Amino acid sequence: MDLLSTEEASSYLRLNPKRIQALARSGKLPGRRVGRKWLFDRRDIEAVLGKRDRPEAVGLDLSARNQLRGTVAALHVEGVMAEVRLRLGDQELVSVITRRSAERLGLRVGDEVFAVIKSTEVMIGKGASLE
């Protein structure tokens, strides 16, 4: 059993330690309280992340409602940025993210991912007619 402290789990999940503790208290992240400290089994965290098949694995909820499931159709990494092309049914969506984010997520062509859209505006433009 590979037990992680709150700080180690925080580093592993790239979340603030206070957020780790809040997720554990709410039951969204499996952990054990020992005295005043939290301990987390790495295998349980991996199950939550979907790295192992376990039916009781629980995902983390996002406040954004616009979540579109798609497949990575193309990935172009250059410099500090990465262009990710997602296939959403018969449509395509392009997202530009940092190279570090693409590497942290381990993105590969064919991966099933979610596009999370959080915006207050959607603009549409069209070129002027020359007729």
Residue 1 has pLDDT above 90, yes or no: no
Residue 56 belongs to some domain of the structure:
no
Q: What domain range is 96 assigned to?
A: 66-117
Q: How many domains does the chain have?
A: 2
36 and 71 inside one domain: no
Arithmetic mean of pLDDT, 51-79: 70
Residue 59 belongs to some domain of the structure:
no
pLDDT tens profile 36-63: 899 999 888 888 777 544 344 345 566 6
pTM (2 decimals)?
Answer: 0.48
Question: What contacts 24+ positions apart, CB below 8 Å, involve 13-19?
Answer: 13/45, 14/104
What is the pLDDT, as a whole number, of residue 48?
Answer: 78
HSE-CB for 101 with a 13 A CA cutoff = 9
Question: Rounded to whole angstroms, how far apart are CA atoms 55 and 48?
Answer: 10
Find the CATH number of the domain harbouring 90.
2.40.50.100
Residue 31 belongs to some domain of the structure:
yes
User: What single letter denotes the amino acid at residue 126?
Assistant: K
Question: Rounded to whole angstroms, how far apart are CA atoms 91 and 105?
Answer: 23
pLDDT tens profile 103-128: 989 999 999 888 888 776 666 677 76
